[in-house]
A and B are shown apart, each in its own frame.
Chain A
Amino acid sequence: MPTKTRPVEKFAKATAQCSVEAAAYGKCVVSDYNSVHKDMCAKEFMRLKDCFLAASKKG
């Protein structure tokens, strides 16, 4: 067993704790995926990112 966790594993673990925010963001992008443009769902993404940052600090 490797004792060192890879950064991507931490990343995945922190992301997994934000399923509600992720679903909200995903829904926003997918709702109109034929005309996605930059920062279309910036508000939802910032919520997801805040949650992710908080979760990665804890873990």
Chain B
Amino acid sequence: MISPHIIRSGLPRRCLFAASSVRSYASQTPGNPMLEVFNRKTKHLQKDRAARNVEESRKVDYLKDEVAMRLCERLLDIKRDFPNVLDLGANSCNIARALTTPYMDEGTPEGVITPPLSSKISKLTCVETSRALLHRDEDMDFNKEIDIHRDVIPDLETLPYQPNTFDAVLSSLSIHWINDLPGLLNQVNAILKPDAPFICAMFGGDTLFELRGSMQLADLERRGGVSPHVSPLADVKDVGSLLNRAGFKMLTVDVEDIVVEFPDTFALMQDLQAMGESNAIMHREAGPISRDVLLANEAIYRTLHMDEDAPGIPATFRMIYMIGWKEGKNQPQPLQRGSGDVNLKDILGGGDFSKP
């Protein structure tokens, strides 16, 4: 028996309880909550604004073009044709440009021109969030040499493609701005056909470590505290497990440093801005960096990182290249650990590093 008193006072609570009575287990809140590291709106605006200044934007494509070239070189190792390819986060279609450039192959005799890689690809879909950036080089000649489809999507983190669609997914210098990297890699794995590769280059951990460090020192000395001025990046050692978790097989991960020389830190920051690669971390300080800090940063950067008599300051960009394959039938499998019967030492010649 329940006394009337308890019913009266417990009425609102009882209604609530009835509505949520099925919740007996711990459950995930809807919408798959995740850690937001980067402000996507800010990033979109930065890319869009940068690309609208066409002349400046083309001038600073040196890094993206170089990396796209190096990424596409990795396609040479795969003796296969790719009818349907996705360029994830295409920027200004740098990959398409690299694919249509005739490359120098050291193996072929001089005078023989190898056909550009684009001959292996029938259809390239370039996807990007910024319309201005994606369509920037629409009228250039390379567009005629490859069948490009440009897709502007509101958000790179949700891909609007059907499972088992693409024969390869390429991505160059784009996914370092993704908040939910595991989620994106899962999607990439889904949209690939079985036994199809995902080939990607992204900025990694130690990129711009000089600027990160000197900015912190300048902030500390001038203002007594630190605010993040360089966005965080994924580390090399995380990439392998990320790919593994998303179900990729036969992983290859390698790292390459590109050091670019700039006349001063202002030129470096200007170029980053024109690339659309400025800081886009959540809760970053509103407004520009104070002039005092900029002045201090320039002095500290030079003292710490400039070689004597060097004409400019070095800035390191660390590229992480990764290749992962979607699981497929008859795919080569790695051998069991410990099943090798040839000693690598014999093949590599003793392994005595002290000899020249």
Contact = CB atoms under 8 A, between A and B. Distances in A.
A20 B107 CA distance: 52
B217 A33 contact: yes
A37 B224 contact: yes
Given A36-B217, A36-B221, A38-B221, A49 B295 contact: yes
A21 B299 CA distance: 9
Contacts of A25: 296, 299-300
Interface in B200-219: 217-218
B103 interface: no
A29 B302 contact: no
Interface residues of A, number: 26
Contacts, number: 73
- Majority secondary structure of chain A interface residues (helix, strand, loop or mixed): helix
Contact of A26 (B222, B269, B291, B299): B299
Contacts of B222: 38, 45
B222 to A, nearest CB: 7
Interface string B274-303: 000000000000000001101110111111
Contacts of A48: 295-296, 299
A34 B124 CA distance: 50
Interface in B26-62: none
B161 interface: no
B304 interface: yes
Nearest to A52: B295
B266 interface: yes
B270 interface: yes
Given A8-B266, A8-B270, A12-B266, A29 B298 contact: no
B268 to A, nearest CB: 10
B264 interface: yes
A27 B303 contact: yes
A22 B302 CA distance: 9
Contacts of B296: 25, 29, 45, 48
Nearest to A40: B221
B14 interface: no
Nearest to A35: B220
B264 A12 contact: yes
B267 interface: yes
A23 interface: yes
Interface in A2-59: 6, 8-9, 11-12, 15-16, 21-23, 25-27, 29-30, 33, 36-41, 45, 48-49, 52
A34 to B, nearest CB: 10
B74 interface: no
A30 B299 CA distance: 10
Contact of A39 (B221, B264, B299): B221
A45 B221 contact: yes
Nearest to A6: B270
Q: Which of B263, B264, B301 has the most A CB atoms < 10 Å from its CB?
A: B264
B314 to A, nearest CB: 15
Interface string B301-312: 111100000000
13 contacts: A11-B266, A12-B267, A15-B264, A21-B299, A22-B299, A26-B301, A26-B303, A27-B303, A30-B304, A36-B217, A39-B224, A45-B292, A48-B299
Interface of B: 217-218, 220-224, 263-264, 266-267, 269-270, 291-292, 294-296, 298-304
In the A-B complex, the 5 residue pairs with the smallest Cβ-Cβ separation, listed nearest first, are A26-B303, A38-B224, A22-B299, A12-B266, A26-B299
